Every structure is written in C-alpha cells, then in structure tokens.
Amino acid sequence: MTVGGPAERGSFEDEPAGTVALDEVPEGVVLTVGGALDLALAPTLRRTVERAARLRPRLIVIDLTAVTFLASSGMAELVRARRQLRGEVGVRVVATGRLVLRPLQLTRLTDELDIHATLADALARG
C-alpha cells in the first residue's frame, strides 16, 4: 500500500520528486523513501510517519536505501520521528552508502538514531 505520494514540487525544480511509500509488514511498518529527502519531501515524510504511528505498530523502519540526497531538513524529520515516538514505537533507520551516511556522521546523528545497514537487519533485531 503506497500512501505517501510524491511531494509537492515547486515549478522551478527539474529533479524528479522524492517519494515515501508505506508498507505494513508482520514486524511493523516500513516507510521506503526514494530520491532527494530534502525540504520538499520532508513534510511528506512527517505526515507518513504520523500515519504510520496511528497504525500502532511495534516498530517503524524508515528505509533510506534509495535516498539520493539527504538534506538537513530530512535529518531533522528523522530526529523528530525518533523523539516524538520515544517510549511508544521503536523507530529504526536503514542507511547505507556515503550519500546518506556522511551527513548523518557529520551531525553525529549516528549516535542518536538506531541505524541499520539493511532492511532485513532493521526488522530482525528484537
């Protein structure tokens, strides 16, 4: 089930819009983010996280494997999701490759976020 459609786009942007898809799996909810996770897509990610939280899953996994650009507005949403759902829902992030990992390292969000290399890994750990 894909609910988070393409982000609103300004007419001045030529790049394809990023996407957020929501899928329910036995372990919880997986949000698959694709494209540029920037200011344009951040509100979509926030709404989709809120929608996922209303499903009352045990776990929400935000999969950034297909993200091509991680802006600070995108990182801010990851922190927001983690902090707002603390104590209610586990929030994990799948991040691999320097496009996504480097910004997370420079901001030391690697300390804050529960980061896994693969989706299987994120879903597996108790």
Q: Which parts of this chain interact with other proteins (CB under 8 A)?
A: 10-13, 15, 36, 38-39, 68-69, 71-73, 75-76, 79-80, 83, 98-99, 102-103, 105-109, 111-112
Q: 23: how many CB neighbours lie within 10 A of its CB?
A: 15
In the bound state with other proteins, the residue whose beta carbon lies nearer, of 30 and 41, is: 41
In the bound state with other proteins, the residue whose beta carbon lies nearer, of 23 and 80, is: 80
Q: Smallest distance, Å, CB 95 to other proteins?
A: 14
